[in-house]
Amino acid sequence: MEKLRLYLNSLSRQEQEYFAFRCGTTLGYLRKSLSTKPLFDALLCLSVERASNGEVTRQDLRPNDYWRIWPDLPEPKKEVAA
């Protein structure tokens, strides 16, 4: 969610509103989500990735399960305990 916060803060208010519109939601919902941190559904994650031209990715928004939703994305490598 931090990447989404940074991305939104880099935009003017008008650009933020248009970005939210392109994502199929409202700026109010995106802002509230930054504080409540719900899991975005798959469609919203994809919309954010597309509307941000890849600056905020599906992996950024669903880091713990994105590979289960989008099997075309590689699963993160697991750290091996020494």
Domain boundaries, the chain: 2-69
Class of domain 2-69 as given by CATH: mainly alpha
pLDDT value, residue 10:
98
pLDDT value, residue 77:
81
Determine the residue type at 55.
Answer: E
Rounded Cα–Cα distance for residues 25 and 71 (Å):
25
Closest CA to 44 of 69, 25, 19, 65: 25
pLDDT value, residue 80:
61
Q: Interior CA angle at 56 toward 54 and 60, to 5°?
A: 125
60 has a pLDDT exceeding 60: yes
* Mean of pLDDT values over 6-29: 98
Do residues 28 and 47 touch, judged by C-beta distance below 8 A?
no
Mean pLDDT of the chain: 93
pTM: 0.88
**Token reading at 38:** 């719900």
